[in-house]
Amino acid sequence: MPLIVMCGFPCSGKTRRAVELQEYFEQNTERKVHIVGDGKLGIEKNVVYADSQNEKNVRGSLRAEAERRINKEDIVILDSLNYIKGYRYELFCLIKHTQTPHCLVYCLTSAEVSSTWNTERDVEEQYTQEILDALVLRFETPDSRNRWDSPLFTIQKEDTLPFEAISDAIFKRKAPPPNQSTQSQPLSSTNFLYELDKVTQDVLMAILNSQKTSVPGDLIAVPGATEKIELTRSLNMAELRKLRRQFISYTKMHPTENIGHIANMFVQYLNKSIH
């Protein structure tokens, strides 16, 4: 059923808060509570977070496990750093697709407090100071103005969790409505695949051609779309091709019934990815 996403610096109390939430819901509801997190995977943190590809693989595994656990009855708590804005957006797309509410619990600490708490752990559970500092620098603070970060509960180390408010957020709110990019439809039309390939290629060419006369801050119109590309920086062909491949892979799994929506979907995806 609902998804609770934990977020915060390394050693900011996320796991402790996740366990507190698990105990509260198990005592006050009849629902099962599943905690999905780094600890459950048995990863070596300093190995994983020192390599971007390893880290990406772990995030994918956590997302897949959370998706597997989500059903109509149980509560899933994702206990990891979840520090990348784009990844939190992916989780938001997941809950839209599965039609369940979610909330974000942000464990707010200073870098100094997290570093101190890190040194108090058993040696085998500690981050190296270099890895911890790097993760703190890369941390993208959640913002309640973003749909994927809302509702947001910011918790400091001395705070008591607002259990009732969190409960209301995941039980009394409606799930966000699905949109064309998250509704799963049967992929039965070869014409869909042809249009998907053609439309996304046309969008890429329109961007590359427009960049010859555009500057950062311009809005780029693309064929077949009512929405425009928000050009915040220059985009090269290699980056655009990579984003196009990712979009095509996702859209094959979640195709739209209306081929006319493909261009707008791709524009939305590009705008989220390049910001």
pLDDT tens per residue across all 275 residues of the chain: 799 999 999 999 999 999 999 999 999 999 999 999 987 777 889 999 999 889 988 998 999 899 889 887 899 999 999 999 989 998 998 888 888 999 999 999 999 999 999 999 999 899 999 999 999 999 999 999 999 999 999 999 999 999 999 999 999 988 877 654 444 444 445 567 778 888 899 999 888 888 888 877 888 888 888 888 888 888 888 888 889 988 888 887 777 767 778 888 888 888 888 76
d(CA 106, CA 70): 21
d(CA 134, CA 62): 21
Same domain, 157 and 23: yes
Number of domains in the chain: 2
Same domain, 198 and 141: no
d(CA 70, CA 96): 12
Domain end position, chosen among 136, 171, 206: 171
In a domain, 137, yes or no: yes
Supply φ then ψ for residue 179, to 5 degrees.
Answer: -120, 180
Same domain, 144 and 231: no
Q: Which domain holds residue 23?
A: 3-171
In a domain, 177, yes or no: no
Same domain, 124 and 245: no
**What are the beta bridge partners of residue 4?**
77, 103
- With 0.85 as the threshold, say if the pTM is over it: no
Same domain, 129 and 24: yes
Q: Quickly list H helices, the chain.
A: 14-28, 38-41, 45-48, 52-69, 85-98, 111-119, 129-138, 163-171, 190-210, 237-253, 262-274
Same domain, 73 and 163: yes
Task: Answer yes or no: are the C-beta atoms of 47 and 128 closer than 8 Å.
Answer: no
